Amino acid sequence: MRFSYLGPRGTFTHMALMQISSDEGGHIPAIDVPAALRMVRNEETDFAVVPIENSVEGGVNATIDSLSNGSGLRIVAEMLVPITFVLASRGPMDLSEVKRISTHPHAWAQCQNWIASNLDDAIHVPGTSTAGSAKAMADGAMNFDAVLCNPLSAEQYGLTVIAEGVADNPDAVTRFICAGREGTALPERTGSDKTTLQVQLPSDEAGALLAMLEQFATRGVNLSRIESRPVGDSLGRYQFSIDCEGHVEDERVQAVLIGLHRTSPHVKFLGSYPSAKQVPVKLRPGTADQDFVAARDWVSNLLGK
Amino acid sequence: MRFSYLGPRGTFTHMALMQISSDEGGHIPAIDVPAALRMVRNEETDFAVVPIENSVEGGVNATIDSLSNGSGLRIVAEMLVPITFVLASRGPMDLSEVKRISTHPHAWAQCQNWIASNLDDAIHVPGTSTAGSAKAMADGAMNFDAVLCNPLSAEQYGLTVIAEGVADNPDAVTRFICAGREGTALPERTGSDKTTLQVQLPSDEAGALLAMLEQFATRGVNLSRIESRPVGDSLGRYQFSIDCEGHVEDERVQAVLIGLHRTSPHVKFLGSYPSAKQVPVKLRPGTADQDFVAARDWVSNLLGK
Amino acid sequence: MRFSYLGPRGTFTHMALMQISSDEGGHIPAIDVPAALRMVRNEETDFAVVPIENSVEGGVNATIDSLSNGSGLRIVAEMLVPITFVLASRGPMDLSEVKRISTHPHAWAQCQNWIASNLDDAIHVPGTSTAGSAKAMADGAMNFDAVLCNPLSAEQYGLTVIAEGVADNPDAVTRFICAGREGTALPERTGSDKTTLQVQLPSDEAGALLAMLEQFATRGVNLSRIESRPVGDSLGRYQFSIDCEGHVEDERVQAVLIGLHRTSPHVKFLGSYPSAKQVPVKLRPGTADQDFVAARDWVSNLLGK
Amino acid sequence: MRFSYLGPRGTFTHMALMQISSDEGGHIPAIDVPAALRMVRNEETDFAVVPIENSVEGGVNATIDSLSNGSGLRIVAEMLVPITFVLASRGPMDLSEVKRISTHPHAWAQCQNWIASNLDDAIHVPGTSTAGSAKAMADGAMNFDAVLCNPLSAEQYGLTVIAEGVADNPDAVTRFICAGREGTALPERTGSDKTTLQVQLPSDEAGALLAMLEQFATRGVNLSRIESRPVGDSLGRYQFSIDCEGHVEDERVQAVLIGLHRTSPHVKFLGSYPSAKQVPVKLRPGTADQDFVAARDWVSNLLGK
């Protein structure tokens, strides 16, 4: 099994990939999200692991658009990774000795309050990625004392962790997906699943978004994420990237898909997969599989079938 | 074929029945609506013709409740009858000679303006029904000069029509239904059909009526009549008698029925039948049969079926 | 204070009137509902008491239509009366001696199961009203042994109650209203109030009923009764008689009224009055008066007012 | 009047600014969007011009988040700029002579098809911005023959345009806003206006998005843009950045704002301003100012005010 992922080695994306595959031999870093997905489409890898959503930054447009616009991919898993950093150096040292820190500017920004409280006269030495800073330190770079990186790259590059849980927002989390080709078998339903869709609205209809959301509501299917993305041909024309609760093998999700297919110019099914949190879905009355089956049987009976 | 109907012979209901069966030998008058329907349930007749709705008076509760509450009946046809009267007498006479008029008080009320304009000193002689007044005149009653009755009873009792189209509201119309037993074959679909349902709301849920109507709206099915009727066990608990556009063989109507069956404590299907007006239903985009079939095929395909 | 009511003396309507006025000197029976309301409009009485809804029979169309169609009346109170009967005679007697019972056919129908269980060979002697049968017995009529009437008429006509709580459905209840002229002062708001409206739908708009109900839903106002009534000019054109929770002095009810006035061809306000049950309304978040006031202040502030 | 804008000089943002202010003396380039807005907040400039939305790329998160999260800014104008490029060089030259082109990688990507058709063996020399490449050419850089930049920077740096209207998607357009401080006077309403809002949903309520959209729909106010952005504290908690049709001085927009303020934990008003396209809003029946005024007067009258 080969996995392309948003590299380099040791990124948060790599941490997500390690949750589902510990065999590093099959891990192939890609330069960006479209490249990671392209490797799956081109059959260079079997799956790609890329970020889709961050609790602070929001949706990852590169992922959403690459999934939607190219040929068929299918999401088969999601993974959550807490976005906290470690401060690491070549060997044990005291916090008070840390004067110069290398890391990616985003990481530096996300830890500013922590640094101000704990290391208030430390200086930032910009790196191209947190994993890149870790590698540079391991390779012997001398112009900084420590790096802010994630726990995985500290470990991979043999660094010593001198502070853990470094983050201004300790609950920050990024959600990653693992996508295979369209033909990949659907993961089994677990009772706590998500389905990802791309839905375009009929153009120039007041209330089109409301009508689209009603397709979910009348079947008791909750949304867990909705992002508007431009269709691309003019301002004001949107498609929506949506995660909803449930699996395409759930009758209620099938009913939503049928309703969307009828009323939207384009709907794309991007996969059903177990929810990372595995909290069982609370079904509203009348939305269990047996409710749909019983209702269909009743109608068949009316029709004398 | 035997038909029970709301009698006596010559009523507007009888006029409705004549639209679908001219063989008077099979016409059996009933004393009231429940009696006419009971004769079908007891297999004394094959069908019952009863009024369900009047453009001025509204729904006929006796019909709505008898259909809903007893064992299974199935509506197979609807008929519209304009509610206008004729002024009739034993022989030709001038309007100015008409001083005393027998009719049912309802009919008298519905013609008051016409009478004031045309016969301003005429006096009302109450009768038990308009058909009854016509029969009394034919039998030789002497205490009135003319009767206000419908055209059918004037003809049936051999009276002479001295004024036609008598009515204050010339567009008043009553809608009648023809109901057989539950096993009766469904009338073929014509593209301009109606389906009649009885739907109970889940109790004590704010927004339950709105949610029920959404089941129709998301499938593009219009309602042509909705009446609330008490469930009967306490104030504030309702069921709804509904006519919607379409036939149970239409995919969109089946989808509505499935949605209602899932979410309502009780749904009763009371029949699909050709609309009397035969105006083709204007389908909203995405609600034709082929849209449902294509959407289901797409979902089956996703499931690898 | 003079009150017209649906008579004769001793009816259930009279019982409802007694709940709000014990001075029988001011009670004036009317022959039917329109007559009772006409007496208010003509200033022959100050208020009329008429039934509006029964838990078994549903809405009282004569009341709904008379309120809606004529000039302005205003409902100022509602009263609930349980619909149970007493069996009464001229003096004490044993149930086994009761062979012939006079009452109105409706009352006989509502007690059929009770009679079958307790007096199985009793015979019905039809009367014009339950109060009329009671009066006839008091006046010395000899062709029946007992009457089925309401407790009030038994008392008023000096009869002896030989069985109480006679009813097949012991929870049956009728709701009555007391209506004055339009200028009558609004009853004070109690926190458990109802508002009665008549709302016509814009014609020929799919989804018009849904849109009308949304006007209530977006302000968190629940409906406790909704009846469709024909506009009268053609089949399929409806207006709705509605009771909603709340008083016109509640901000949320005012917001609903403003929304309805804007979007409906005709809205009629028929009164706000204390709910008979006095169960406090459960407000949804954001629908209390102070929420509206705060929101308006915020907007005024944006406008620099 | 001083304007900060997303620089450097000659960017598309600068083109947008030129639409409303031709005095270059007051134009102050900023290094990024947050910096441009910060200069307004700090009173270093009076207004900031920044991109908010692109027809191909979608919403500009840096702008949306900077507007929403910091202290009060107010949008007072929007400007549309078509995103097409010119090919420019130091002097006239034939297309066939162009072998090496400098530009920002985004611009290169957006012109790939055009280049393949017109200059198929040209090579990309990456620049830090399109304006930066233009400046470098003007300054005498020798490692490329031409630049892809916008018309403004070609003019500002004195280059010769050798091809115009270079773009794969000739309708691509970016929308810019001009924002002042919160106290800035509201632009007058024109009848074709937009209002920008930030609305947070009540957490963990199924149907909360639907309910929020109903606040707009019941007042007939259309949305022209909706973007979900994370609240930031956990995955699955969203706020929405919304543009709707209309001005806060329109009664229907005020009614929407009142409804949102009541039901959302946080609503932020970010300005009302003329729509760049100046297509008059098509009002739905019952949503004009006079409809609101008449409805309020009616309710005041009911209350005896």
What domains sit in chain B, N to C, each tagged with a CATH number? Answer: 1-83+172-185 (3.40.190.10), 85-166 (3.40.190.10), 186-305 (3.30.70.260)
Those residues of chain A whose CB sits closer than 8 Å to some CB in chain D are 53-59, 61, 80, 169, 171, 173, 175, 206-207, 209-210, 213-214, 217, 222-230, 232-236, 238, 284
List chain A residues with CB under 8 Å of D232.
Answer: 55-56, 169
Tell me the mean pLDDT in the region A191-215: 89
Those residues of chain C whose CB sits closer than 8 Å to some CB in chain D are 185-186, 202, 211, 214-215, 217-219, 248-249, 254, 257-259, 261-263, 269, 285-287, 291-292, 294-296, 298-299, 302-304
Residue A295 has φ and ψ, to the nearest 5°, of -70, -40
Contact D17, D81 (CB under 8 A): no
Shortest distance between the Cα of D211 and any Cα of chain A, in A, equals 9
Closest residue to C213, CB basis, from B209, B222, B227? B209
List chain C residues with CB under 8 Å of B218.
Answer: none
Helices (H), chain A: 12-20, 33-41, 61-69, 105-110, 112-118, 130-138, 151-156, 208-217, 251-263, 289-302
In our burial notation (b when 16+ CB lie closer than 10 A, e otherwise), range D104-127 reads beebbebbeebbeeebeebebbeb
Pairwise CA distance, residues C234 & B197, whole Å? 22
> What integer pLDDT is reported at residue D171 of this predicted model?
87
Give the number of beta-carbon pairs within 8 Å between A and D: 84
Q: Which residue has the tokens 């806003």?
A: D177
Those residues of chain C whose CB sits closer than 8 Å to some CB in chain B are 53-59, 61, 80, 169, 171, 173, 175, 206-207, 209-210, 213-214, 217, 222-230, 232-236, 238, 284
* Digit-coded pLDDT (tens) for A99-108: 999 998 788 8
Shortest distance between the Cα of C18 and any Cα of chain B, in A, equals 21
pLDDT at A139 over 80: yes
**Parallel, antiparallel, or unpaired for β D123-126 and D58-59?**
unpaired
* Digit-coded pLDDT (tens) for C156-209: 999 999 999 999 888 899 999 999 999 899 999 999 999 999 999 987 666 889
Contact D16, D38 (CB under 8 A): no
Contact A103, A114 (CB under 8 A): no
Q: Give the model's confidence band at A174: pLDDT under 50 very low, under 70 low, under 90 confident, else very high.
A: very high
Pairwise CA distance, residues D191 & D171, whole Å? 26
Q: Give the model's confidence band at D204: pLDDT under 50 very low, under 70 low, under 90 confident, else very high.
A: low
* Digit-coded pLDDT (tens) for A150-173: 999 999 999 999 999 999 888 899
Contact B13, B51 (CB under 8 A): yes
Least-confidence region, from A269-278, C186-195, D161-170: D161-170
> What integer pLDDT is reported at residue C205 of this predicted model?
66
**CA count, 13 A, side-chain hemisphere, D210:** 20
> Which of the residues C73, C203, C253, C258 would you substitute to probe the D interface, choosing the one with the greatest number of D C-beta atoms within 10 Å?
C258
Closest residue to A213, CB basis, from D54, D210, D238? D210
Nearest to D155 by CA among D2, D16, D4, D15: D15
Contact B208, B190 (CB under 8 A): no
Three-state secondary structure call for residue A91: coil
Contact A237, A206 (CB under 8 A): no
Tell me the mean pLDDT in the region D48-55: 94
Question: SS3 sequence, chain B?
Answer: CCEEEECCCCCHHHHHHHHHCCCHHHEEEECCHHHHHHHHHCCCCCEEEEEEEECCCEECHHHHHHHHHCCCEEEEEEEEEECCEEEEECCCCCHHHCCEEEECHHHHHHCHHHHHHHCCCCEEEECCCHHHHHHHHHCCCCCCCEEEECHHHHHHCCCEEEEEEECCCCCCEEEEEEEEECCCCCCCCCCCEEEEEEEECCCCCCCHHHHHHHHHHCCCCCEEEEEEEECCCCCCCEEEEEEEECCCCCHHHHHHHHHHHHHCCCEEEEEEEECCCCCCCCCCCCCCHHHHHHHHHHHHHHCCC
Q: Give the model's confidence band at A74: pLDDT under 50 very low, under 70 low, under 90 confident, else very high.
A: very high
> What integer pLDDT is reported at residue A15 of this predicted model?
95
Residue A107 has φ and ψ, to the nearest 5°, of -65, -45
Q: Give the model's confidence band at D141: pLDDT under 50 very low, under 70 low, under 90 confident, else very high.
A: confident
| Cis peptide bond N-terminal to C170, omega within 30 | no
Least-confidence region, from C84-93, C212-221, D127-136: D127-136
| Cis peptide bond N-terminal to B230, omega within 30 | no
* Digit-coded pLDDT (tens) for B130-147: 998 999 999 998 899 999
Pairwise CA distance, residues B253 & A244, whole Å? 26
Distance (Å) of CA D305 to CA B263, C195, C271, D296, D300: 45, 18, 16, 11, 5
Instruction: Give the pair of three-digit tokens for residue A147.
Output: 């790096």
pLDDT at A204 over 80: no
> What integer pLDDT is reported at residue A304 of this predicted model?
87
Q: Which chains touch A (3 or more CB pairs under 8 A)?
A: B, D
Those residues of chain D whose CB sits closer than 8 Å to some CB in chain C are 185-186, 202, 211, 214-215, 217-219, 248-249, 254, 257-259, 261-263, 269, 285-287, 291-292, 294-296, 298-299, 302-304
Strand partners, D28: D4
Pairwise CA distance, residues D12 & D150, whole Å? 7
Q: From the centroid of its chain, how far is CA B22?
A: 19
Tell me the mean pLDDT in the region D174-191: 95
Q: Give the model's confidence band at A32: pLDDT under 50 very low, under 70 low, under 90 confident, else very high.
A: confident
pLDDT at A7 over 90: no
Contact B5, B28 (CB under 8 A): yes
Nearest to D78 by CA among D201, D211, D168, D173: D173
**Parallel, antiparallel, or unpaired for β C146-149 and C100-103?**
parallel
Contact D87, D162 (CB under 8 A): yes
Shortest distance between the Cα of A180 and any Cα of chain B, in A, equals 15
Contact A145, A98 (CB under 8 A): yes
User: Which helix (DSSP H) or strand (DSSP E) does residue A163 occupy?
Assistant: strand A160-166
* Helices B33-41 and B61-69, packing angle to 10 deg: 30
Q: Give the model's confidence band at A141: pLDDT under 50 very low, under 70 low, under 90 confident, else very high.
A: confident
**Across all residues in chain D, what is the average pLDDT?**
92
Per the CB < 8 Å rule, is D228 touching A226?
yes
User: Which helix (DSSP H) or strand (DSSP E) does residue A243 occupy?
Assistant: strand A238-245
Q: What is the DSSP code (8-state) at residue C187?
A: P
pLDDT at D29 over 80: yes
Q: What is the DSSP code (8-state) at residue C172?
A: -
Pairwise CA distance, residues B264 & B270, whole Å? 16
Q: Give the model's confidence band at D142: pLDDT under 50 very low, under 70 low, under 90 confident, else very high.
A: confident
Instruction: Give the pair of three-digit tokens for residue D46.
Output: 């009076």
* Digit-coded pLDDT (tens) for D245-301: 999 999 999 999 999 999 999 999 999 999 999 998 889 999 999 999 999 999 999
* Helices B208-217 and A208-217, packing angle to 10 deg: 110
Regions in chain B scoring below 70 on pLDDT: 204-206
Closest residue to C261, CB basis, from D185, D186, D295? D295
Higher pLDDT, C113 or C43: C43
Nearest to A83 by CA among A172, A177, A175, A176: A172
With a pLDDT cut of 90, the percent of chain A lying above it is: 74
Pairwise CA distance, residues C10 & B304, whole Å? 73
> What integer pLDDT is reported at residue A84 of this predicted model?
92
Shortest distance between the Cα of A206 and any Cα of chain D, in A, equals 6
Residue C96 has φ and ψ, to the nearest 5°, of -70, -20
Residue C5 has φ and ψ, to the nearest 5°, of -155, 160
List chain A residues with CB under 8 Å of B287.
Answer: 262
Number of CB atoms found within 10 A of residue D156's CB: 18
Q: Which chains touch C (3 or more CB pairs under 8 A)?
A: B, D
Tell me the mean pLDDT in the region C219-233: 90
ipTM of predicted complex: 0.89
Instruction: Give the pair of three-digit tokens for residue C162.
Output: 């030989």
